[in-house]
Structure 1
Amino acid sequence: MLDPGLCTVCGACELACPAGVIGFDGLDPVLTTESWTAADCADCSDCLDVCPGADPGTPAAEERLFGRTRTPRERWIGVFSEVVAGHALDPVVYETSASGGSLTALLQTAMHRLEVTAVLSMGRDEKEPWRAAPALVRDPDDLVETAQSTYQLAPYLGALRPLVIEEPDARVAMSGVACHIQAMRKLQAMDTEVGRWAREHVVLLVEPACSSSTRPEGTAAVIRERAGVPLDSVVRLRYREGAYPGDIAIRTDDGADHRVEFWRAVRDFAGNKTHRCLSCGDWMSGLADISVSDGDPNIFAASVTGAEQPKHGRVFIRTRAGARAVAAAREHGLLTDEPVDLAGLNLGLERKRNRRASYERSGKPVPLGPIPGYQEELEIVPDEKWIAAPEQEEDR
């Protein structure tokens, strides 16, 4: 049995269950059939086998993908063949994006040029638009609506289950953070009906770097307390709207737009994390075909100072499928790329490294890292120091 504190809310158990009896109540996995008992599962352990919560399965997946595991120098980035600085060339995608639209442009390329018929991306709940919810996108132009980072947990991979049952010939690309990618790679290695489907039909995995995600209550608090907006009046929510690095943008049913500075939201989010997110050992899984991070190493500082700069992302190409997607995006004028220097601080990565080291030394249960037995030696900087408020704002 998985320690509930290590659940990533990825939704892989819902997707993998051959009986289809796993669902979610909020962020908690539940049985959807009251009469179902553990005895009905017999010898099946698909839900535990696919789960990345305690064991993300990184070394085995790296052996399958790259023929080797990562070295200590590759601890936080993983194995890759090339990294470039890129941004979308479509002006709508670029302006809508959080950091240049590289990820959206790559998913559009998959639909335009690589015969992908559906993309799994994080969207919004239809009834409560401030909540995150998975979206199956069929039209490449609609991917703009799921652009930008979504700093909120929501069950995700279970949204693919209808495709397995109703559209088994679909060709799927997906965007997902580390735990989503790890779960999908575990599923693709399983000799089950759903595993074989995932291996044959999920053809492109693209991941944004992830410092951590937030419970829905974190977003709700920003909306209510920072913006002064009732949740039931929200009709649209964006996390990184406008000039880089963007603001939290909330539209209400009276047509009014409300903004919260990004750095304030980051500080508010810090108190609404799960144990699994805080103890996570991965900024990127390193198992996606392509990984993308912000090009600016410190978006928090940029939000505090109001420093303006062109949007761009760092695009890490890892597999042949990833290289084909990037080449197609370049060829068809959807993505630009330039050389990139990886030197320098990245705030999200540094927060992740320090939190992970703190949890490793705490004695609390933590998920396995990508290198078995490896623990990074560093002098831990508390998270609140990385996201300290400007002095004149401390009492607000």
Structure 2
Amino acid sequence: MPFEKLFEGVVNSGLCSSCGTCVSACPQHLLNIPLGEVGPEKGPGKEDCPEKCNICYDACPGMNLPYGAMEEMVFGRKRTENPVEQMLGIHKYHLVTHAVDQKIHQTGVAGASVSMLLIHGLETGFLDAAIVAGYDKDKPWQVRPYIVTEQGGVLSAARSKYGVCSINTLLAEATDKYERVGVVACPCHVWGIRKLAMNNLAPKVTNRIKVILGLYCLAQNYSLAAEYMITQRMSVKLEDVAAFQYRGGADFGGGTWVKTKDGQERSMGLLANWGMVPTVFIGYQMERCFVCHDHLSDLADLSCGDVWGRHEELEKKSPYGWTGIFVRTDAGEEIINSAIKAGVIHAERDDNMIEYYPTNPGHSKKRFANPKRIEYRKRYGWPVPNIT
């Protein structure tokens, strides 16, 4: 059956990122991804899957990734040999930004510009809804996607999540209910959306996605990462957890933070004492993330993330963090310009990122280490993605 092709060729090969594209692409609605798990499973009615249907496999960006063709579809061309484009992808320009509203600014960890763009889009009618990553209500250390339509929903999903989140499982539901949808996406989610569009596999879905806000992404991690930090590093039982954040707590920037049902709070710095970042990203990365080459969500409309290399300088101007934004497409430029004109986002032009971006660990991992890892895997006969 077609699903077996997806499962054996991608999931069992360690090439599934759990992006969720297959779930929204399936015309029979037969697939789902359990919370915190990697890879789809067949739901009730799996026998109804047409024998010659390969849509789930054709939509999947895990194994076959026609990156050059998708780049041409999005930008009308492939990137040149210019060292700036080779490193940073095709873009119009780069901005350093932050939300003007101080409460919203402090809600985020890197300028809160993504949250502010969504709020602005929803309040002005540019968007009807957005798909974001938040924490599960019953298991608050696990990350899950939500459809939000107002400021409260956006802010409830603020701050970085480092756990696996199948954002694209909600593409079909969101675009069935709403005509103008924004998506906050990691690179693998962006690939799935672009591949759907390129292959015309779910035109209603892709036609109703108004803007993709891509995130810089070092890796997504198994949900076991949060469980380890909570139980082993902060000595809290999972059944006692009331709230959790990878980057939370009262102090700006945040660290691993947990609140228990009896009101106690515990936290651990991002880097201090072998804290969250080295523990999580060394020990619990998803397998597909070891062979990913895209750190900056190069195919998104806007690419957003921490401003490494200039953060100390910028925080003298505004201490609650800044968001670096690559403006890549007309759709991205439309919403960022609207937000700047409305006075809800402060932005400064910064076209010198190539000088300091290499200090970002995501750059060394995605541009240098992972391609070398792909070479070694080929030598060992291990599965690798087919990137063309």
Provide the TM-score with structure 1 as the length reference: 0.85
Q: Which amino acid aligns with 1:209?
A: Y
Partner of 1:60: 69
Partner of 1:391: none
What is the deviation of 1:212?
Answer: 0.6
Selected match of 2:295 from 259, 278, 283: 283
Partner of 1:130: 141
Partner of 2:365: 351
**How many positions carry a matched residue from both structures?**
358
Selected match of 1:224 from 231, 254, 259: 231
In 1, distance between residues paired with 2:46 and 2:89? 44
Partner of 1:201: 208
Give the aligned CA root-mean-square deviation in angstroms.
2.2
Equivalent positions of 1:35-46 (< 5 A) are 36=47, 40-46=49-55
What is the deviation of 1:175?
Answer: 0.1
Give 3-state SS (helix, strand or coil) of 2:134's partner: strand
In 1, distance between residues paired with 2:368 and 2:253? 23
In 1, distance between residues paired with 2:166 and 2:251? 30
Partner of 2:315: none
Give 3-state SS (helix, strand or coil) of 2:64's partner: coil
Equivalent positions of 1:246-265 (< 5 A) are 246-263=254-271, 264-265=275-276
Please say if residues 96 and 148 of structure 1, whose CA atoms lie closer than 8 Å, have aligned partners that are also in contact. yes
Partner of 2:23: 14
Partner of 1:190: 199
Q: Does 1:366 align with 2:380?
A: no
In 2, distance between residues paired with 1:332 and 1:251? 37
What is the deviation of 1:244?
Answer: 4.6
Give 3-state SS (helix, strand or coil) of 1:147's partner: coil
Partner of 2:96: 85
What is the deviation of 1:288?
Answer: 0.9
In 2, distance between residues paired with 1:339 and 1:171? 28
What is the deviation of 1:80?
Answer: 0.3
Q: Does 1:96 align with 2:107?
A: yes
In 2, distance between residues paired with 1:205 and 1:164? 14
What is the deviation of 1:63?
Answer: 1.1
In 1, distance between residues paired with 2:257 and 2:118? 24
In 2, distance between residues paired with 1:296 and 1:68? 29
Give 3-state SS (helix, strand or coil) of 1:75's partner: helix
Query: Gapped runs of 5+ residues in structure 2?
Result: 313-317
CA 1:361–1:252 in 2, change beyond 3 Å: closer, same or farther? same
Q: Which amino acid aligns with 2:17?
A: T
Partner of 1:386: none
Query: Gapped runs of 5+ residues in structure 1?
Result: 302-307, 373-396
Name which of structure 1's ranges 236-245 and 75-84 shifts more when overlaid on structure 2: 236-245
In 1, distance between residues paired with 2:109 and 2:386? 30
- Cα-to-partner distance string for 1:191-249 (whole Å, 9 max, x where unaligned): 34xx2112321111001100111100011101111111111211212222344532112
Q: Does 1:75 align with 2:86?
A: yes
Selected match of 1:273 from 280, 285, 303: 285
What is the deviation of 1:368?
Answer: 4.1
What is the deviation of 1:61?
Answer: 1.8
CA 1:282–1:368 in 2, change beyond 3 Å: closer, same or farther? farther
Partner of 2:126: 115
Q: Does 1:143 align with 2:154?
A: yes
Please say if residues 281 and 367 of structure 1, whose CA atoms lie closer than 8 Å, have aligned partners that are also in contact. no
In 2, distance between residues paired with 1:217 and 1:35? 29
What is the deviation of 1:50?
Answer: 1.2
In 1, distance between residues paired with 2:156 and 2:46? 40
Partner of 1:325: 335
What is the deviation of 1:266?
Answer: 1.2
What is the deviation of 1:352?
Answer: 2.6
Name the % identity.
25
Provide the TM-score with structure 2 as the length reference: 0.87
In 2, distance between residues paired with 1:56 and 1:75? 18
Q: Which amino acid aligns with 1:318?
A: R
Equivalent positions of 1:291-310 (< 5 A) are 291-297=303-309, 310=320
Please say if residues 171 and 205 of structure 2, whose CA atoms lie closer than 8 Å, have aligned partners that are also in contact. no
Give 3-state SS (helix, strand or coil) of 1:98's partner: coil
What is the deviation of 1:309?
Answer: 5.2
Q: Does 1:236 align with 2:243?
A: yes
